[in-house]
Chain A
Amino acid sequence: MLGEGAGTGSGGQEMMHLGLGPQHPAMHGIIRIVTELDGEVIRKADVEIGYLHRAFEKDCEVGGYNNAIPYTDRLNYVSPLINNFAYASAIEKLLDIDVTERCKYIRTIMSEISRVCDHLTCVGATAMELGAFTVFLYMIKAREFLWELVEDVTGARLTISYGRVGGVKADLPDGFAAQATRAFKDVREVLSEVHRLLTGNRIFMDRMVGVGVLSREETIAYSITGPLLRGVGVGYDVRRAQPHWAYDRVDFEVPTQKDGDNYSRYLVRMAEMEQSMRIAEQALATMPGGPIQVDWEGRAVEPPAYVDQGKQGKTDGLLLVPIRLSPNLEGQERRKHVQVNADDKRVVLPPKEHTYGSIEGLMNHFMLIMEGYGIRPPLGEAYFATEGANGELGFYVVSDGTDRPYRVRCRPPCLPPLAALPRMIEGEMIADLIPTFGSVNMIGGELDR
């Protein structure tokens, strides 16, 4: 079947071509790897991408600045919150505005929760492909605890659209810190179980140690960042190198390993999850604004009654009356709104009390929503980078002064490792492709955009 020399890795008359994917259970998402095999040894490999291309960058150019937020959810769909915040921060850099302290902490906390979700998925899937199905189930269980937190904050699980230019959609719900503490405790238990199951496990180590090695020089030449770069001993982390949001006010380590193989990447990811939870815990403890006092003296009003009062000209003191918002607007009450959004009328929608209750608020709202108005950064360009789960996630935005971005470029963190994938698998056995491909954690959404 395989021709002469099959299985020996040498002496074959001709190479066998084997295409893996685009549809293959081990190709997370859709990607095609065309391999040239000598027996079971990969001599040459070519990676074909683009199967999930959906014109993210072009789509961003046709709507307002905030319209791109839902598209960014779909870049790295395992940790969509980081994409939201990175995009919003790039626009804020272009506008030269600063968000509130509380907003910075929320972005930090939610990014770290997303990072843990991402690493859990990556390690769990890799382990499953190597036969450790239990680990996969445990890790998905742990991810579920965290997704419940995400669901409580954003109202959605995957396509969360929680970031906004100039702030976030809504404040954290009441009692979030206690909930997060419980979830982290459960996740830590799962991690220690996984450590007992995998770290040091003979079967797992045989498949991971010394497999998929990329040297330090090549990793840098391929501009690979994230766990793969830290796996070769370079402690580069955007959170540490260019601190943004609240990363300069929390204490954390940048774990590194030196071997550059799949096992190093596994250890880096496992250590990073612990660090991420540390960051989130510290940020929750020191978050400004604190718990939000509910000391409303006036009665809560239904929005239609509120609007009626405004229409009748009974606006005296109306802005001080709290309003009962629908549950999907929870966390957007005026008190909370000002805590998490920048004080900039050119960018941030006014709180709903103002929109319903005053002509200024209504005009402000329309000025931001109407086509041709909205957020209009001055001419110029900006590049903002943060540490995504797979490495440096950068947004390069060019503005032409109108309400639509002239150009949005996303620097996808998992594209460089995929470009270097042939270098990692050439010369190794075909079966080793699976753990190596798992350890680069390819995410089709951000790779193909």
Chain B
Amino acid sequence: MSGAEILSALRARFASAIVETHEHRGDTTVVVTRERLRDVLRACRDEPALGCDFLMDLTAVDYAKYPGREDGPRFEVVYHLYSLTHGHRLRVKVRVEEDDAVVPTAVPLWPIADWFEREVWDMFGVRFEGHPDLRRLLLYEEFVGHPLRKDYPINRRQPLIGPKT
């Protein structure tokens, strides 16, 4: 399916859930509301015409210092989907506010979301509701803060602390 066809198929089903769509540099992107995120992802995976069986990547972006986005929702959680049968890619994004940084988990849909979501929690402090075991992935439990947030200074040092005895 071409990008335009994917977008029109999604619009037909989730008209109210779609916040924004764009195609930049050949990448098809759809921004959806948090309430319907799980439904959209499920449809992307299960609907034969879309057939996105791979969750290639799941990450987040902190838009706190992005021109024009300083006041808007701070975080965007980004899902990169890929369809093995059709060979198309789709980027699904959801926006969340800083004081309510919670997104429904995608673990029931793709088990790989387990580690990807743990990494996003680790690096950005975005929580995933319903995640079975939301621990830090790359850093240690005693680490304070979330380093990929834009307000985390690059030169901040934290002492390495061993496991609790």
Contact = CB atoms under 8 A, between A and B. Distances in A.
7 contacts: A218-B111, A380-B24, A383-B89, A398-B61, A400-B65, A409-B57, A411-B56
A382 B25 contact: yes
Contacts of A398: 61
Contacts of B65: 400, 406
Interface string A11-54: 00000000000000000000000000000000000000110010
Interface string A187-225: 000000000000000000000000000000010111111
A428 B53 CA distance: 28
B91 interface: yes
Nearest to B68: A379
A222 B112 contact: yes
Q: How large is the interface on A (under 10, 10 to 19, 20 to 34, 35 or more residues)?
A: 35 or more
A396 B154 contact: no
Contacts of A222: 110-112
B44 interface: no
A220 B115 contact: no
B138 A49 contact: yes
A55 B24 contact: no
Contacts of A53: 138-139
A394 B87 CA distance: 16
Interface string B115-137: 10000000100000000000011
Given A382-B25, A383-B80, A411 B57 contact: yes
Contact of A220 (B67, B84, B140): B84
Interface in B81-109: 84, 87, 89, 91
A381 B23 CA distance: 10
A151 interface: no
B59 interface: yes
B56 A381 contact: no
A392 B56 contact: yes
Contact of A449 (B66, B67, B87, B138): B138
B43 interface: no
A396 B59 contact: yes
